[in-house]
Amino acid sequence: MKKIFKRAVTAALSVILCGYTAIFTASAKEPYDVYNYDRWGEPIPSQAGYTAERAVSGYDLGVGAMNMPSDIFCAFDGNFYITDTGNNRIIAINSDFTDAVRVYDSFIMADGTKTALKKPSGIFISAENQLMYIADTENSRVLITDLDGYVVREITKPDTEIYDSRRTFNPQRVIADKAGNVYVVLNNITTGAAMFSPDGEFTGFYGANRVQPTAEIIGDYFSGLFMSEEKLTRRTRNVPSGITSFDIEGDFIYTCTSSSTQTTDTIKKLNSAGKNIFANNEAVFGDYSPMYDTSQNRVLASAIIDVDIAEDGNINCLDFTMGRIFQYDEDCNLLFIVGKNADQVGGFKQAAALESCDDRLYVTDTMKNTVTIFKETDFGEVVHKASALHNSGCYEEALDPWLEVLKYDGTYRRAYLGIAAAKLRSGDYGEAMKYAKLADAGKIYDKAFEGYRMEFIRNNFEPILLALIFGSIAIAGIIKSRKDKKAALAAERKKGKSDEKEER
């Protein structure tokens, strides 16, 4: 008997211990606390959607140390292209990120001469025409070359009236759409990205940010009403922050702005007409409220310096201030927050660019001179599957993945939203109400409640009708009896008083 008891205790203990170690290894991998936002917009601990797999330096790739790798792009052939800014070169890396396939030091111009890059900081490879677009910053040009290193076209500072000739032309980022139009982010232009036709002609600016209507700017507007023309021309002008980086997915261009004082237009989704589809979206990108750092006496507000759109439509934003990656689904619902400014693998010193490919995220660091590779965790996989199904309208198919998500993280708000939507679609109103309440989704709750009420009335029509009839009869009876009582009382009083009178 004693032996059995002992064995049982050991078994129980070992199970508990195993569980502990399992939890420990699952959560201790990141050099930071993984968090997400709950339904009140307050940060709470959460499961990691991505975990740092490894950090790759130039030595690992066999090309010597990288110096400020400022941009990374995953091309159609699966290879990665990194602008090694400090070394003035482009490095092509194989899809496993183990070896450099090719290093572009110089390119051959149409007339046969060689040309070198000078601090290139942006790269884009078009899948349509298989050309490489390089923002050659300090040479003030955008190079369009084929993958063998032959220059097809060179875009330099436009010579038109629209482009102020006093301004420099320093391309930071470059992309091209399917038609071959080239968009260039310039470091000193706040009126949007410069747009060039496929044959290199300047066609205007695209996607300028709005000026955020802060109290100061509104005050300036009113004081401006009373100013003379001379005064108006000499006052400081309110210009919006420029675009920091962008990415193209299908017909849409996503831009980001790193200005930490700006809270509107930090992430924009622009259609081909340059209209922002997220303009009326209430979503906040980055951390909800800036953190105050007492040791440095400064406010750490999110500054999103790069944006990347994954193949499944998820929006990845790279926050420079805190070294965090914020991942949103295509409807701007927050999925994951990954990363931190730290020395360990998975932390950054100066995060610069972000790229996603399949189930991995690649982040370059211009101070560590590495590329950190994050791999999707099991949890991340389930969430991605569920949100992809949900966003394509298959709410009921997404139900099982969402329930699976809740097994990993019971406070994951997005899952409750998904389950509520699925239950509502399948007509299970009671459950839909329950989950909508947990997700803080008043609108879904309202829809579910409408259905629930209808169902309730339909199922209990006879009792409700009977209760109504008997209730009204009872109320009418009570009113009548009270009236009778009052009348009787009044009559009695009257009689009593008149008796008194008679006696007198």
Partner 1 sequence: MRYYRIAMYELTPVQWVAHAITHPVEGFEDMRWKKSGSLKIAFFIICMLFLANIANERLYGFNHYVPYDKIFNVVPYIVKSFVVFGAWTVGNWAVCTLLDGEGTMKNICIYSAYALVPYVTQLLVNTLLSHFLIRDEAVFISIITIIGTGWSAILLFSAIRSVHQYSAAKTIFAIALTIGAMLIMLFLLILLLSLIQQVAIFFSTLFMEITYRIRD
Residues within the interface to partner 1 (CB under 8 A): 40, 42, 433, 436-437, 440, 442-443, 445-446, 449-450, 453, 489-490, 493-494, 497
For residue 42, the minimal CB distance to partner 1 (Å) is: 8
Q: Residues of 473-494 as b/e, b for ≥16 C-beta within 10 angstroms?
A: eeeeeeeeeeeeeeeeeeeeee
Side-chain half-sphere CA neighbours of 352 within 13 A = 24
Instruction: Indicate the residue among 193 and 433 with the shorter CB distance to partner 1.
Output: 433
For residue 280, the minimal CB distance to partner 1 (Å) is: 20
For residue 31, the minimal CB distance to partner 1 (Å) is: 29
Instruction: Indicate the residue among 267 and 433 with the shorter CB distance to partner 1.
Output: 433
Instruction: Indicate the residue among 31 and 451 with the shorter CB distance to partner 1.
Output: 451
From the list 103, 66, 104, 102, the residue with the least C-alpha distance to 85 is 66
For residue 477, the minimal CB distance to partner 1 (Å) is: 20
Instruction: Indicate the residue among 176 and 438 with the shorter CB distance to partner 1.
Output: 438
DSSP three-state, residue 157: coil
For residue 277, the minimal CB distance to partner 1 (Å) is: 26
From the list 59, 143, 158, 141, the residue with the least C-alpha distance to 107 is 143
Instruction: Indicate the residue among 205 and 445 with the shorter CB distance to partner 1.
Output: 445
Q: Say if CB 18 and CB 7 are below 8 A apart.
A: no
For residue 254, the minimal CB distance to partner 1 (Å) is: 31
For residue 379, the minimal CB distance to partner 1 (Å) is: 25
Instruction: Indicate the residue among 362 and 445 with the shorter CB distance to partner 1.
Output: 445
Instruction: Indicate the residue among 210 and 453 with the shorter CB distance to partner 1.
Output: 453
Instruction: Indicate the residue among 219 and 427 with the shorter CB distance to partner 1.
Output: 427
Residues 6 or more apart whose CB falls under 8 angstroms from that of 301 comprise: 260, 261, 286, 287, 290, 321
Copy the structure tokens of residue 144: 């369009």
Report how far residue 69's alpha carbon sits from residue 83's, in angstroms, rounded to the nearest whole number: 6
Cα Rg, the chain, nearest whole Å:
33
Residues 6 or more apart whose CB falls under 8 angstroms from that of 224 comprise: 232, 235
Environment class of residue 346 by beta-carbon count within 10 Å: exposed (0-12), middle (13-18) or buried (19+)?
A: buried
Q: Say if CB 327 and CB 373 are below 8 A apart.
A: no
For residue 424, the minimal CB distance to partner 1 (Å) is: 13
Q: Say if CB 133 and CB 143 are below 8 A apart.
A: yes
Amino acid occupying residue 190: T
Phi, psi of 69 (to 5 degrees): -70, 105
**Residue in this structure with the two tokens 């994050």, named with its chain if needed:** 374
